Amino acid sequence: MSLNIKFIFMSIIILGLIVNTSSFSDLAFADKPDKTQKESAKAQREDAKAQREDNQNNIQEFSDSTVVTTSSTTICHVPPGNPGNAHTISIGIPAVRAHFANHDDTSGPCNSINFENLEDHKAEKESRLSEEESQKESNALERAKKLIEKLEQQISNLEERLQTLLEKYESGEYYGNISTADAVTNSYNISFEGTASSIYDESVTTEMSGELFMENQVTTSDTSKFKILSGEVIIGDAIYDVAFGKARASSSGLLGDEDSLVIVLQTIDSEENENTIKMTLGFTSPLEGEFGNPDEEFEILKNSKVSGEWMLDGSGQISLES
């Protein structure tokens, strides 16, 4: 091989090595960041560090253990027992209620309050609370007074009604107009038993019984009037003593095909309360001839009741005594 050929061959080999070396160098440093990228990454790290420091600075512990966060409000903090050291602080929203409840702290900065008169401020606050309590008590007493007045008025109205009722009884007006009284006076006995159901709750029931004594006043072809002389109605453990009353017998037509005897009683119960008892007795046989002789059976109809208390149901009999 000639010298020229060797030289050319060696030149080609050397050129190839140079090219390969350059390519390797480009490949090795292709992803290496330049100076600008390094500075940018450094700046990002410094920003993150600064943010962490800011976050740390935003959570501070005060001497009174109040935590302050970025979600905060300004109050005027008055240290307990040391109002002269009142100062403005910012506290987290969740801590506001505890400060107001346990201290004399107020909303807003301290410069909005004259703390030279803090004791006056506290006294005014206590006075206001006392006035509120006093007003509540006064309102309660006023309501009680009105209730008592209402009850007294009801009692007065009741007494007036009873007085009127007694006056009518004494004058005879209570029994109605009796122009021609019966020539012969007969006495009757009415006995009955059954159940009483509460007007307010029909499921509440108790035993009921009673006995009444009456006499006739006036008798016509279709109507007879009677005077209730005495008697008692027993409902459970309560006894209703009859003071006076009246009864009216009607022939068929008033309540379907039945003859009836409507009784109204003025009674005094076991607790000395005045009560009105109304009973309607239904007879299956006509009320004619010598009424109650022989004994006549009856049913206590559904509209019978002790006013405001009981509905009555049962049966019984009426007898002519004399």
DSSP string covering 100-131 = HHHS--EES-GGGS-GGGHHHHHHHHHHHHHH
Confidence of residue 8 (pLDDT cuts 50, 70, 90): low
If DSSP codes are grouped into helix, strand and coil, which group holds residue 317? strand
- Which tokens belong to 208? 């009921």
More confident site: 298 or 28: 298
> What average pLDDT does range 132-138 have in this prediction?
76
In a domain, 159, yes or no: no
- Mean pLDDT calculated for residue range 163-170: 84
Is the residue at 145 inside a domain? no
Summarize pLDDT for 220-262 with one digit per residue, the tens. Answer: 777 789 999 999 999 999 999 999 999 998 765 443 445 889 9
Residue 176 lies in a domain: no
Name the domain boundary from 75, 91, 112.
112
Domains contained in the chain, number:
2
Asked if residue 27 has pLDDT above 50, the reply is: no
132 in a structural domain: no
Give the CA dihedral 226, 232, 233, 236, nearest 10 degrees.
180
**What are the b/e assignments for 301-317, b being 16+ CB within 10 Å?**
beebbbeebbbbbbebe
Would residue 32 count as lying in a domain?
A: no
One-letter amino acid at 268 equals I
Q: Which residue has the higher pLDDT, 159 or 28?
A: 159
Evaluate if residue 198 carries a pLDDT over 70.
yes
Question: What are the helix (H) ranges across the chain?
Answer: 3-28, 35-57, 96-102, 118-171
Whether residue 316 is found in the same domain as residue 194? yes
Specify whether 200 is located in the same domain as 311. Answer: yes
- pLDDT at position 49, please? 67
Secondary structure (3-state) at 229: strand
In 10 A of CB 234, how many CB atoms?
Answer: 17
Shared domain check, 103 and 200: no
The Cβ of residue 78 has, within 10 Å, a number of other Cβ atoms equal to 23
Say what the pLDDT of residue 165 is.
Answer: 83
Query: Residue 298 CB: number of other CB atoms within 10 A?
Result: 24
Residue 143 lies in a domain: no
Q: Do 188 and 319 meet the contact criterion of CB atoms below 8 Å apart?
A: yes
Domain membership flag for residue 177: no
Among 88, 112, 136, give the residue marking a domain's end.
112
User: Do residues 107 and 217 share a domain?
Assistant: no
pLDDT score at 109: 79
pLDDT score at 204: 94
> Do 194 and 316 belong to one domain?
yes
Residue written as token pair 């501070």 = 60
Q: Is the N-terminal amide bond of 294 cis, ω within 30° of 0?
A: yes
Which residue in this structure is represented by tokens 């009692």? 155
% of the chain residues with pLDDT over 70? 65
φ, ψ of residue 250 to 5 degrees: the values are -125, 145
User: What is the reported pLDDT for 15?
Assistant: 54
Residue 72 pairs in a beta bridge with 92
Do 316 and 192 have their domain in common?
A: yes
Give residue 313's pLDDT.
96
With H, G, I as helix, E, B as strand and everything else as coil, classify residue 87: strand
pLDDT at 73: 80
Looking at the structure, tell me whether residues 212 and 305 fall in a common domain. Answer: yes
Residue 140, pLDDT above cutoff 70: yes
Q: Is pLDDT at 29 greater than 60 in this prediction? A: no
Range of the domain at 275: 187-320
83 and 195 within one domain: no
pLDDT at res. 65? 41
84 lies in a domain? yes
Which position has the token pair 């005014």?
124
Of 112, 143, 177, which residue constitutes the final position of a domain?
Answer: 112
Sign of CA dihedral 106, 110, 112, 116: positive
Q: Residue 192 CA to chain centroid, in angstroms?
A: 43
- Is the pLDDT at 297 greater than 50? The verdict is yes
